[in-house]
């Protein structure tokens, strides 16, 4: 790290752009849509050639974008308190992400100089963009007094409160920066975070804190069939999907104008006690979720998308959907209208320390106030029947700024006047 008084290359606008170009990036690329998260006009039907725009005037891609099949998430710790080092990192990340989301390498695989070390690692060559999106988040420490950016803090950004479901492990929680890389090819997603981690190491601005690989999206987006989690139940049936719902519940527009279109990202690693669950009767499992396993319908309906009737009683006078069923406790009807955008992924890591399956849900949500997530989780963590079968072991909260406009980079307004 440079000292506080040393001015790293790239502080000027021209210097930042030159630094990004030296890492294989150019800020303007061909064939991109005007709005992030939308399929570019020249996209082909082949899913390997599907692409989304990184640059735009709205939110970042990868939030309301229909969830892809694979996830690679990574969190970083800043190595110092110089905001200028963070500025350089975000500029170079942005240049590289813009290229990778177009399916382009970030530089030569075989440099002209025999002694040179290449930034481009080559494992995604020939694979196509595969619908890659990379979403960048900033943790609470970025906006601390020691970083000199406290005056620019989003209104609701702070560490998450302690929650009743927490069994958190520090080594897989927290972080100053987050990357969420999603793609329909796992190697494309891996390549993206590998390149960005190399850039962080080369600049000396940040080090990797934790990583998480996810597969088989466990939440639905607009127009997608609802997927299943590793307990075998459909996940995300009532997810936010419409522009009106996104505007009301996801996009944070209560801060300065440059923050409009941003949002708050919660990441939670939820371990599932698979063996215990598999030994439970399916009728009990249905009661835990409040849905039928096969169809996904609420216990009061016949179709997955039937609205749950939380007032319905059985012959014994008890609620058909149990009082502590997951869908009852999570429903916006029972939580003063609170809704969040889910974007979760299943994960597995082989066997854990006691020889049981290490598997679960890497839960990601977006909301315009993290207090909404906390309110839902307090209710779920206190009495959800599902708690017998899960543990929340990792957690992080990040502010996701709006997309970078062409010729700029993620979070650029942060550094105005710094």
Q: Are 99 and 125 in contact (CB under 8 A)?
A: no
Q: Are 375 and 161 in contact (CB under 8 A)?
A: no
More confident residue, 215 or 10: 215
Confidence of residue 114 (pLDDT cuts 50, 70, 90): confident
**Token match 């891996």: residue?**
190
pLDDT surpassing 60 at residue 11: no
pLDDT surpassing 90 at residue 38: no
Q: Which tens digits make up the pLDDT trace of 231-243?
A: 999 999 999 999 9
Mean pLDDT score, 156-163: 96
Average confidence score pLDDT of the chain: 91
Say how far apart CA 95 and CA 32 lie, in whole Å: 14
Q: What is the pLDDT of residue 133?
A: 98
- The CA radius of gyration of the chain, in Å to the nearest whole number, is 22
Q: Which tens digits make up the pLDDT trace of 391-403?
A: 999 999 999 999 9
Confidence of residue 4 (pLDDT cuts 50, 70, 90): very low
What is the helix (H) or strand (E) element at residue 360, kind and residue range? strand 357-367
Q: Are 411 and 401 in contact (CB under 8 A)?
A: yes
CA of 302: how far to CAs of 233, 282, 294, 307, in Å?
15, 17, 11, 10
Q: What are phi and psi of 388, to 5 degrees?
A: -65, -20
Q: Which tens digits make up the pLDDT trace of 130-143?
A: 999 999 999 999 99
Q: Which tens digits make up the pLDDT trace of 350-370?
A: 888 888 999 999 999 999 999
Domain ranges of the chain: 13-222
Q: Dihedral of CA 86/87/92/96: which sign?
A: positive
Confidence of residue 222 (pLDDT cuts 50, 70, 90): confident
The two three-digit tokens of residue 161, written as one number? 């409160």
Identify any residues that bridge with 214 across adjacent strands, giving them in sequence order: 71
Q: Which tens digits make up the pLDDT trace of 269-326?
A: 999 999 999 999 999 999 999 999 999 999 999 999 999 999 999 999 999 999 999 9
């Amino acid at each position: 790290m440079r000292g506080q008084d040393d001015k790293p290359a790239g502080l000027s606008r021209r210097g930042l752009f030159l630094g990004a170009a030296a890492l294989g990036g150019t800020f303007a690329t061909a064939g991109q849509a005007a709005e992030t998260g939308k399929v570019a006009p020249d996209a082909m039907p082949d899913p390997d050639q599907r692409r989304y725009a990184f640059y735009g005037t709205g939110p970042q891609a990868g939030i309301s974008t229909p969830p892809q099949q694979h996830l690679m998430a990574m969190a970083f710790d800043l190595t110092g308190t110089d905001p200028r080092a963070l500025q350089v990192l975000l500029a170079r990340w942005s240049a590289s992400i813009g290229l990778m989301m177009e399916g382009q390498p970030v530089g030569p695989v075989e440099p002209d100089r025999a002694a040179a070390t290449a930034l481009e690692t080559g494992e995604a060559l020939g694979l196509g963009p595969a619908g890659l999106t990379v979403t960048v988040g900033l943790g609470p420490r970025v906006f601390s007094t020691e970083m000199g950016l406290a005056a620019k803090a989003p209104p609701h950004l702070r560490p998450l409160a302690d929650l009743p479901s927490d069994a958190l492990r520090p080594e897989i929680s927290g972080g100053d920066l987050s990357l969420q890389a999603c793609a329909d090819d796992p190697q494309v997603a891996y390549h993206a975070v590998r390149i960005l981690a190399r850039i962080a190491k080369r600049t000396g601005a940040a080090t990797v804190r934790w990583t998480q690989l996810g597969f088989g999206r466990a939440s639905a987006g607009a127009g997608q069939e609802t997927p299943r989690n590793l307990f075998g139940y459909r996940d995300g049936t009532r997810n936010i999907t419409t522009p009106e719902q996104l505007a009301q519940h996801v996009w944070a527009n209560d801060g300065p104008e440059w923050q409009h279109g941003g949002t708050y990202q919660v990441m939670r690693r939820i371990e599932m006690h698979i063996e215990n669950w598999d030994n439970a009767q399916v009728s009990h499992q249905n009661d835990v979720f409040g849905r039928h396993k096969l169809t996904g319908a609420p216990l009061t309906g016949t179709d997955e998308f039937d609205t749950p009737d939380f007032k319905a009683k059985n012959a014994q006078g008890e609620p058909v959907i149990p009082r502590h069923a997951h869908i009852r406790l999570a429903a916006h009807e029972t939580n003063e209208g609170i809704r969040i955008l889910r974007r979760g992924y299943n994960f597995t890591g082989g066997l854990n320390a006691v020889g049981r399956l290490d598997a679960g849900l890497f839960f990601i949500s977006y909301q315009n106030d993290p207090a909404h997530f906390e309110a839902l989780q307090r209710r779920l963590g206190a009495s959800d029947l599902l708690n017998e079968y899960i543990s929340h072991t990792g957690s992080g909260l990040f502010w996701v700024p709006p997309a970078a406009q062409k010729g700029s980079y993620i979070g650029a307004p942060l550094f105005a006047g710094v």
